[in-house]
Amino acid sequence: MNPTPVQPAAMPQTPDPRALGRVAVLTGGASAEREVSLMSGRGVLEALRSRGVDAFAFDPAERGLHELRDEAVARVFIALHGRHGEDGTVQGALELLGIPYTGSGVMASSICMDKVMTKRVWVAEGLPTPRWVWLAPDDHDREQLMRVPDELGLPLIVKPPREGSSIGISKVEGYSGMSDAVQLAARYDRDVLCEEFIDGIELTCPVLGRGAGAQALPVIRIEAPGGNYDYEHKYFSADTGYHCPSGLPPDEEAEVQRLTLAAYRALGCRGWGRADLMLRAADRKPFLLEMNTSPGMTGHSLVPMSARAAGIDYASLCLRLLNDATLDADV
């Protein structure tokens, strides 16, 4: 299957802002990614208002979601990241309230938030992802930890499977680093994911739409100082390099887009998403790392950057996502 990259001419007509009704931008929340979510929410809110949308900010950490009905909200733009925002819980509440929302539905959001479950789906679909070992809470004894490098090799990656933004992630270079890495990840999640390290080029590829009509945006190649694309380098550092166009050969760009679309559809995603991948240096094979169902919309965020390369400005992107807001029951 050939990828279907977004072309400016293929974009739908801009919706009438008045037809969108009163809009709540969900921002902040109680996850470890609250700070990033607040930045995303500010950007989305400003963009929607600049296009004449009757939008306001709503922080679920400060107000109950039932108040959305009191505000006569017609639809919701989810600018939350992490738990209680990107994991299906807010989506489920909005389903019960009957308020259409942006992004994936309850099941896809829940699966994508859990990197272990995501990998299981991808493996079942024959899609490439790095080998991994899942450590349950009672599997953190020294003997068990020492087996992990034997199975995955060194270096390897240790991360909490239900966090994003590189929170709690470590690169382990030797056996002695396993305990500290697992302890760090366990601060954020009861389970720990240990993953084969793929030496190569870090890539990301956004997707817009749903089902057969989903379209891959241009691929972004990421160059972080020392190859360390951590929380600081993602959101606050000016030293991280982002290349869009990616500079990859056309056939490699097309393969990354094809793989991203396959991964997105296999998980049942809709609205929008962004796959993170590694392109292995040894053989130029791409590997899927994770699927983000509520990607960042900050000044450093990658979906707006890729959309811009496809001829879609930030405000138009926000309007398109909002116009696609829906409920599971309506799909």
Active site members: 33, 165, 235, 274, 276, 290, 292, 296
Answer whether the bond into residue 155 is a cis peptide, omega within 30°.
yes
Distance CA 270, CA 111 (A): 13
Backbone angles phi, psi at 237, to 5 degrees: -85, 140
Contact 59, 29 (CB under 8 A): yes
Distance CA 119, CA 115 (A): 6
Distance CA 301, CA 303 (A): 6
Q: How far is CA 254 from CA 68, 161, 222, in A?
A: 42, 28, 17
Question: What is the per-residue DSSP string for 107-160?
Answer: HHHHHHHSHHHHHHHHHHTT-----EEEE-TT--SHHHHHHHHHHH-SSEEEE-
Distance CA 298, CA 143 (A): 42
User: Which strands form 75-78's sheet, in the order they lie side by side?
Assistant: 55-58, 23-26, 75-78
Q: Does residue 176 sit in helix, strand or coil?
A: helix
C-alpha dihedral, 231 to 187 to 136 to 125, nearest 10°: -20
Contact 179, 240 (CB under 8 A): no
Distance CA 270, CA 325 (A): 10
Distance CA 254, CA 219 (A): 9
